[in-house]
Structure 1
Amino acid sequence: MSSEHALEHLYVIFYDNQQGLGLCGCGNPEAAYDLVRDLLGLMPLYEESRWKTAESLTGNIPGAHHIVLGAMERAGLIEHGTSLSGAWLTDKGRWCLAAMRTAEFEDLDRQGYPHDGEPCTDACWRAPATA
């Protein structure tokens, strides 16, 4: 996958309401980008009590941990069994983490949708993520 296409797919993950997190670009979206990258990098949360670090990243605010991880799950980046604190990465989450580790947020913000605006398929998240 080309650098441009990887950034377009990250754009979908962050800004699209149907396929991603549905974030807006105002305020401090770079902090949200960093938070998602850092949380994905902790997965699986059930190992070595990584859920505690995840809670601290979400500010140790009651409910914030649940809301943030729930949004990440709805975006298809993670899944969980009996508790969100035991979440693990999906294929899309692994792809996203790899892309985020090589892409700067300011590059993402200049992108648009891939596939001429058509929805992504599962195949998008199996391709190497090079940004």
Structure 2
Amino acid sequence: MENYVMSDRIEGMSRFEFKRDPANGMLVGPDGCHHDTEAQAMYFDQLGFCGCGSPEEVHKFVCDCLGAFDREKQEPEWHDAIELIKETVTNDPENAAYFIAYVLDTLNLTEHGGTVGGAWLSDRGKQFLEIGPMEEE
């Protein structure tokens, strides 16, 4: 099982290949959904986030956070990416909150109807809370 998990992780780190629908030229995700742009395909298909709330702003927030890990563009070359992310969160707390809500939804710890801000705990989310936080051994 360990090899399977590792190969899944390696596959998930490779670049995503965008496919186009020959009938209309739109990008097609693994679930068959069509997207106008690569940014939309990456956000909705690869991150698995829904379209409610502020998808464009949260997508920018994710890009800003990922930029903290771009060792080729940051000066000095080595830096603590967590500090840069903390700065991004501090400067954009609303989209940080949306991002967390989208991640919890994508992990199936919450469910929602019309907006991710009105989500409720899924059974898995309830189980997660019942188990409680990890403690150091």
TM-score by length of 1: 0.34
Higher RCO (CA-CA < 8 Å; seq separation 6+): 1
Give the strand-richer structure, 1 or 2. 2
